[in-house]
């Protein structure tokens, strides 16, 4: 044996890198996961934040340029790319050799998507034809790369069941006892079945898409917001979880700390790391930075969502026939 032979590899065998996310100021949920066996970039896309995001338009476009480059650089380091669904903030719709060339591409099966997403997928695969080493419809499949296991969930709802955005796939990467789960656009999560899958994965790190409160009064409801908080608190209580990153849709609304106060309190009680990607990295989320520096846009007045009010929201929805009668009990079990 040589003195230079490694005996024990020190440090983590699996690392999660936050490449581009809404808490950085760009529409994206691009994450890179690295193990000694493989490097994977998940959802390599980015788009400019909307006008309700409290940055001047010039700054929003500058951030888009910056994070497009970050996504491209991440893909260049990767041997595999994952596309969880075909919204334009989750993929690059162009023939980018650095992003797709020489990579294994694991993608959501476009044959069972909405017509709009199927059309986007058709355009993408035509553009990048010949670049990936292989393209695999990944739904519900599992692959092993030496000691690393990469597993894709069956299709789960993009937010509410039967809603127009359709479905996505979640990605789990594990190496030994280390495991990370990237949910993509689960929008809360809202569905119990999706939450079941997340909890049963027993991942140490979960990167999750939070509820889109910027749609409240339009496509989002107060009772679905509370449902998402119940599910977040249940995930926080999952065995083995150390870090829950909640980002993407949640970070387009500068009111999110008030609306998700109960989840932050539960994480503190359980001694789990919880917050946006920016917060986990010790930074201020871009939407809060923008509000602090440039003032409000759409929303002028709001208040924290407190325990009694949140439970009353669920009780009212049950009385009105909008929710199953079990939700108040779930609230008491996981949130209180």
- pLDDT tens readout for residues 200-248: 999 999 999 999 999 998 888 999 999 999 999 999 999 899 999 999 9
- Judging by DSSP bridges, how do beta strands 142-145 and 148-152 pair with one another? antiparallel
| Residue recorded with tokens 């387009």 | 252
Q: What are the domain boundaries of the chain?
A: 15-334
The average pLDDT across 93-109 equals: 92
Residue 7 confidence (pLDDT): 41
The average pLDDT across 150-165 equals: 84
Residue 1 confidence (pLDDT): 31
22: which 2 tokens? Answer: 């809404």
CATH architecture of 15-334: 4-Layer Sandwich (3.60)
Residue 10 confidence (pLDDT): 45
pLDDT at 157 over 90: no
Residue 284 confidence (pLDDT): 98
- Name the 3-class secondary structure at 328: helix
For residues 103 and 81, the answer to whether their CB atoms sit within 8 Å is yes
**Residue 160: pLDDT band with limits 50, 70, 90:** confident
Residue 9 confidence (pLDDT): 43
pLDDT at 119 over 70: yes
- Name the 3-class secondary structure at 175: strand
298: which 2 tokens? Answer: 């759409």
CA 38 – CA 78 distance, rounded (Å): 7
How far is Cα of residue 273 from the mean position of the Cα atoms in its chain? 16
Q: How far is CA 170 from CA 69, 84, 264, in A?
A: 24, 7, 24
Residue 11 confidence (pLDDT): 56
- Judging by DSSP bridges, how do beta strands 134-137 and 142-145 pair with one another? unpaired
38: which 2 tokens? Answer: 């493989």
The average pLDDT across 264-283 equals: 97
Percentage of the chain modeled with pLDDT above 70: 96
- Helix, strand, coil share (%) of the chain residues, nearest 5: 35, 20, 45
Report field, pTM of the whole predicted structure over 0.85: yes
Residue 241 confidence (pLDDT): 96
219: which 2 tokens? Answer: 């496509």
Residue 56's contacts (CB-CB under 8 Å, 6 or more residues apart) are 294
Q: How confident is the model over 38-82, as pLDDT tens digits?
A: 999 999 999 999 999 999 999 999 999 999 999 999 999 999 999
- Judging by DSSP bridges, how do beta strands 104-107 and 171-175 pair with one another? unpaired
The average pLDDT across 90-98 equals: 89
134: which 2 tokens? Answer: 């292989």
């Amino acid at each position: 044996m040589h003195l230079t032979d490694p005996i024990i590899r020190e440090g983590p065998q699996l690392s999660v890198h936050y490449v581009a996310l809404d808490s950085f100021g760009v529409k994206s949920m691009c994450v890179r996961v690295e193990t000694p066996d493989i490097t994977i970039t998940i959802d390599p896309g980015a788009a400019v934040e909307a006008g309700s995001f409290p940055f001047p338009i010039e700054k929003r476009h500058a951030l888009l340029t910056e994070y497009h480059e970050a996504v491209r650089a991440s893909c260049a380091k990767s041997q595999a790319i994952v596309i969880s669904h075909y919204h334009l903030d989750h993929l690059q719709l162009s023939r980018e050799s650095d992003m797709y060339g020489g990579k294994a591409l694991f993608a959501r099966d476009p044959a069972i998507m909405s017509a709009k997403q199927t059309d986007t997928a058709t355009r993408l695969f035509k553009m990048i034809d010949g670049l990936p080493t292989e393209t695999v419809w990944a739904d519900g499949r599992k692959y092993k790369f030496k000691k690393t296991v990469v597993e894709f969930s069956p299709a789960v709802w993009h937010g509410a069941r039967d809603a127009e955005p359709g479905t996505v796939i979640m990605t789990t990467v594990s190496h030994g006892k280390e495991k990370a789960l990237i949910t993509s656009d689960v929008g809360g999560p809202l569905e119990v079945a999706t939450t079941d899958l997340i909890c049963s994965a027993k991942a140490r790190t979960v990167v999750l898409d939070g509820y889109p409160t910027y749609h409240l009064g339009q496509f989002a409801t107060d009772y679905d917001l509370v449902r998402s908080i119940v599910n977040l608190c249940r995930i926080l209580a999952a065995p083995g979880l150390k870090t829950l990153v909640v980002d993407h849709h949640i970070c387009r609304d500068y009111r999110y700390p008030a609306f998700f106060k109960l989840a932050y309190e539960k994480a503190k009680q359980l001694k789990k790391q919880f917050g946006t990607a920016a917060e986990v990295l010790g930074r201020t989320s871009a939407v809060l930075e923008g509000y602090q520096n440039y003032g409000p846009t759409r929303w002028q007045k709001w208040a924290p969502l407190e325990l009694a009010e949140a439970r009353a929201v669920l009780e009212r929805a049950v009385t009105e026939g909008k929710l199953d009668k079990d939700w108040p009990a779930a609230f008491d079990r996981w949130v209180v």
